[in-house]
């Protein structure tokens, strides 16, 4: 079972995860296809204490965003556009470095190996991000016009991250069928 807050794999990244998990040398340990989030900061910026006002793994419209801001909390409220993130456990270091090469070829430049005692993991992170405060002490600190602009940018970034997911999936199909990076 999926242990994420959401409780399931994002549909937009599921085919990629299935492809990886069907291989002999790799399996996914966590994934997110990218999302648009409005969140109220937790105490001392602790993620587990944050309240999510909007979470969407798809394009978001202004009405959805606006309705989330009707009752603003006293702590900081942030608008975030997040790119995809994927963690893949690898059988060997060589497998890990091959996967990093494929990810970078797919345009996911922030990819690298993170190892622990028991696991070799590749982290693949898209750089299509956007993060800014939009409310402080219960007051919106940006205009609706600015929110509309930011939401449009975040939706475009989400589209770009989807294209990179597809490109990575295509490159991995080639890699798994050829046995070496394309």
Tens digit of each residue's pLDDT (9 = 90 or more) over 55-67: 999 999 999 999 9
Burial label, 129 (beta-carbon count in 10 A; 0-12, 13-18, 19+):
middle
Q: What confidence score (pLDDT) does residue 27 get?
A: 96
What does residue 16 show for φ and ψ, rounded to 5 degrees? -65, -45
Residue 75's pLDDT band (cuts 50, 70, 90) = confident
Indicate the average pLDDT of the chain: 90
The confidence score (pLDDT) of residue 181 equals 57
pLDDT 10s digits, 85-102: 999 999 999 999 999 999
Residue 7 pLDDT class (50, 70, 90 cuts): low
Q: Is residue 6 predicted with pLDDT exceeding 90?
A: no
Query: Which alpha helices (H) appear in the chain, and where do they start and end?
Result: 14-21, 62-67, 93-105, 144-178
Question: How confident is the model over 154-166, as a mean pLDDT?
Answer: 97
Q: What is the per-residue pLDDT for 3? A: 47
pLDDT of residue 44 exceeding 80? no
The domain 14-178 is placed in CATH, from the list 3.30.230.10, 3.90.1150.10, 3.30.1960.10, 3.40.50.300, at 3.30.1960.10
* 136-151 per-position pLDDT tens digit: 999 999 999 999 999 9
- Return the C-alpha torsion angle 55, 83, 164, 30, nearest 10: -80
């Amino acid at each position: 079972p999926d242990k994420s807050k959401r409780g399931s794999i994002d549909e937009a990244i599921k085919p990629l995860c299935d492809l990886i998990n069907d291989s002999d040398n790799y399996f996914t340990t966590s994934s997110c296809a990218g999302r648009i989030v409005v969140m109220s900061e937790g105490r001392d910026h602790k993620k587990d204490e944050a309240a999510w006002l909007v979470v969407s793994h798809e394009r978001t419209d202004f009405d959805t965003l606006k309705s989330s801001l009707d009752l603003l909390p006293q702590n900081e409220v942030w608008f975030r556009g997040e790119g995809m993130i994927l963690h893949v456990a690898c059988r060997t270091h060589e497998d890990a470095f091959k996967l990093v090469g494929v990810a970078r070829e797919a345009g996911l430049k922030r990819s690298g190996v993170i190892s622990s005692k028991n696991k070799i993991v590749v982290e693949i992170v898209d750089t299509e991000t956007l993060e800014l405060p939009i409310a402080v002490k219960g007051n919106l600190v940006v205009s609706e016009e600015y929110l509309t602009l930011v939401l449009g940018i975040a939706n475009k970034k989400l589209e770009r991250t989807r294209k990179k997911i597809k490109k990575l999936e295509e490159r991995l199909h080639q890699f798994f069928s050829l046995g070496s990076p394309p």
